[in-house]
Structure 1
Amino acid sequence: MCPSLVNGAPAGRAYIIMYLKDKNYFNPPRAAPYLVKIFPKISFSLTWGIMFGKLQHIARSPAIANLLKKGFRMPDTLTTIRNALDSLRNSEKKVAKCVLADPSAAINYSITELAEKAGTSEATVVRFCRSLGLAGYLELRLNLAREMPSAQPIFENVSAADSVAEITGKILSAHKEALSNALHKLNLDDLEQAVKLLAAARSIDFYGVGGSAIVAKDAHHKFFRLGIPCAAYDDPHMQVMSAAQLSAGCVVVAISHTGSTKDIIESARIARGAGAKIIGVVGKNNSPLARVCDLVLSVHSQEAALLLAPMTSRLVQLAIIDVLFVAVAMQDFEGIKDRLDRVKRSLVEKRY
């Protein structure tokens, strides 16, 4: 089986190499897309362990080692999509054609936007990505950003030839533009409603993971000074445990630039089921997270740093948290003025 697979169809060889390049390829669940492609006619009566064992045997074979030594190159993502068109389901073909028609735009689409553009569902987009041997939609976006000649995956128009002064100017200008756009595009009615919910809340939970976790912690660092019981959770297990204990009168602020983070969406769904109100701080109204929120604060910013840590989106999120904090404080400033003063005085002995 090994020689025929390795020396056979280029697609089979490609998926074996892709499998080898996967950092988690010794994890059986991660092998699923590759098993389907490498063993398209394998009997599913075989146990998972036997199939995984066969794949491990191929991965360690001399023929594969020879391919790697010769510098075997994986086809780029767009070529892979074109080659796979005939084997895709009709619904997946719609996604493929949408990506091929405008790959630069696809880099910036949320999974919901791509699904709507293609006239399919988010689940179909995920199946399409897995049909290509990818872990999910984020991996597709990352691959496209890396391969598109016109894309700037590091940061907008920053190039390797730029001086430190030029990089500084470009990044700070992008941040300034993002904050200005947020000011003009933010729905002030929704913002006012969010302030009322937070001011009346019995407790507030802030949820965020990854880059948004920093924003959640900053929100807790501010809001607890107002005397409102609050907490920030960046661990998905802690989020769902806390969410399950909430009730009417509680508020959750779910923070996610993409609005596609599974853990945040699940935590928000559980909290809403328990009776809490959900405020989403998202990059786009049209996102999976937005659909489980009672109120959505869309703070769109073009996150240019696809391959680096979040930059512009994080700054805009932090700015919105500042606005919410100050606005809630102003709802009853006379009542909390003494509390804020005591907080400040408690820090006097901590500083020189």
Structure 2
Amino acid sequence: MATLNEQARRATPGTRLSNDSVIIRLQSARNALDPAERKVADFLLSNTAQVINLPIAAVAERSGVSAGTVVRTCSDLGYSGYRELRMLLARDDAIVRLRQRQAPPTSIQETDGEGMQIIARVRATVASLQSITDSLDAQALDRALELIRHARHILILASGLSIGIGNTLQSRLAREKILATFIVDPMAQDISAASLGKDDLVIAISGSGENAHTISTTRTAHSAGVNTLAITIFSNSTLAHEADVTVAACVSGMDFSSELIETSRLPLDIMVEAVMEQLRGGDDSELITMISQHLEH
């Protein structure tokens, strides 16, 4: 598959990258960079598809420079850091992929009715989700269960499309009589995190693992000695590296660009349901009675 750099050179008007794209900026600024920074720029230009999924340490190693040089290169290009450059690179790649899309998936025929197309998409989604078990780490899951069971209080962090997962997790924890707080407001999340202690737990949920506020609050809690658990789709994300324990529900073939195009939180839903099923207590008769009373009205 052609790199974004190659696509930029031979782009047609319909697929041309905008002037604010990372590739255009790299190509324009390359000669003004110092020799070490040019190594980073050359690596980024030649390996755009891989860089989207690489942590900064891997970029530094493969460029033959230090991580500090990678950060300095990003700064000199006008970015706040490597994380911003990588996310914008994923955005550029996603835009190109969308513009190049000519036909529906092979399992979907243009002549099919929309109902049949939906059925085909459901089949494709179910098939892709089967790869999640290949990426799961049993030891990480054991540690996650231990942290949840022994936490005095749990603070759930989630933003954007992950908010629904946060609500589900809080509700399921409440059913097991586990005290958990889920606050959507970013400032209130920070305030709550600041009040936690070493016997508490932060569960940070992010599909991409790159939500800036979720990462920041998790980092703050971790620095204060609070246990942190990340639930994400990408094991090499910033959030995964910040947390004490990471449960990564990776889907085969999904990268940051496809996450932007076909955003789905189904892998996270599956993980939350599976973990909570494992935590479920033995006698639910009282709980079932309570729920049934709500259904009667």
What corresponds to 1:144 in structure 2? 93
Q: Could you list the runs of 5+ residues in structure 1 that have no partner in the other structure?
A: 1-72
1:347 and 1:211, CA in 2 relative to 1: closer, same or farther beyond 3 A?
Answer: same
Cα distance in 1 for partners of 2:162, 2:189 equals 14
Using the TM superposition, give the Cα deviation of residue 317 of structure 1 relative to its aligned residue in structure 2, in angstroms: 0.5
What corresponds to 2:246 in structure 1? 296
Larger radius of gyration: 1
1:286 partner amino acid: N
Among 57, 66, 84, the alignment partner of 2:29 is: 84
1:90 and 1:207, CA in 2 relative to 1: closer, same or farther beyond 3 A?
Answer: farther
What are the within-5 Å matches in structure 2 for residues 17-56 of structure 1? none
Task: Tell me, yes or no, if the aligned pair for 1:244 and 1:271 is still in contact at 8 Å.
Answer: yes
1:145 and 1:277, CA in 2 relative to 1: closer, same or farther beyond 3 A?
Answer: same
Cα distance in 2 for partners of 1:155, 1:127 equals 40
Cα distance in 1 for partners of 2:102, 2:71 equals 26
Among 292, 307, 328, the alignment partner of 2:279 is: 328
TM-score of the pair, normalised by structure 2: 0.75
What corresponds to 2:214 in structure 1? 264
1:148-207 CA-partner distances (Å, limit 9, x unpaired) = 699659998799968546753563344223421112220112112211221222222211
2:75 partner amino acid: R
1:141 partner amino acid: A
1:292 partner amino acid: E
1:222 and 1:140, CA in 2 relative to 1: closer, same or farther beyond 3 A?
Answer: same
What are the within-5 Å matches in structure 2 for residues 137-286 of structure 1? 137-147=86-96, 164=114, 167-168=117-118, 171-286=121-236
TM-score of the pair, normalised by structure 1: 0.65
1:127 partner amino acid: S
Further displaced range: 222-231 or 164-173: 164-173
1:119-152 CA-partner distances (Å, limit 9, x unpaired) = 55363464265269xx743223212332369965
* Aligned length in residues: 271
Task: Tell me, yes or no, if the aligned pair for 1:268 and 1:293 is still in contact at 8 Å.
Answer: yes
Q: Secondary structure at the match of 1:260?
A: coil
Cα distance in 1 for partners of 2:22, 2:195 equals 44
1:165 and 1:116, CA in 2 relative to 1: closer, same or farther beyond 3 A?
Answer: farther
2:274 partner amino acid: V
Task: Tell me, yes or no, if the aligned pair for 2:52 and 2:86 is still in contact at 8 Å.
Answer: no
Using the TM superposition, give the Cα deviation of residue 236 of structure 1 relative to its aligned residue in structure 2, in angstroms: 1.8
1:339 and 1:93, CA in 2 relative to 1: closer, same or farther beyond 3 A?
Answer: farther
2:143 partner amino acid: Q
Task: Tell me, yes or no, if the aligned pair for 1:152 and 1:158 is still in contact at 8 Å.
Answer: no
Task: Tell me, yes or no, if the aligned pair for 2:22 and 2:85 is still in contact at 8 Å.
Answer: no
1:76 and 1:234, CA in 2 relative to 1: closer, same or farther beyond 3 A?
Answer: closer
What corresponds to 2:44 in structure 1? 99
Task: Tell me, yes or no, if the aligned pair for 1:130 and 1:136 is still in contact at 8 Å.
Answer: no
Task: Tell me, yes or no, if the aligned pair for 1:129 and 1:140 is still in contact at 8 Å.
Answer: no
1:327 partner amino acid: Q
What corresponds to 1:346 in structure 2? 293
Using the TM superposition, give the Cα deviation of residue 323 of structure 1 relative to its aligned residue in structure 2, in angstroms: 1.0
Task: Tell me, yes or no, if the aligned pair for 2:52 and 2:87 is still in contact at 8 Å.
Answer: no
Percent pairwise identity:
20
1:197 and 1:78, CA in 2 relative to 1: closer, same or farther beyond 3 A?
Answer: closer
1:88 partner amino acid: L
Cα distance in 2 for partners of 1:309, 1:126 equals 27
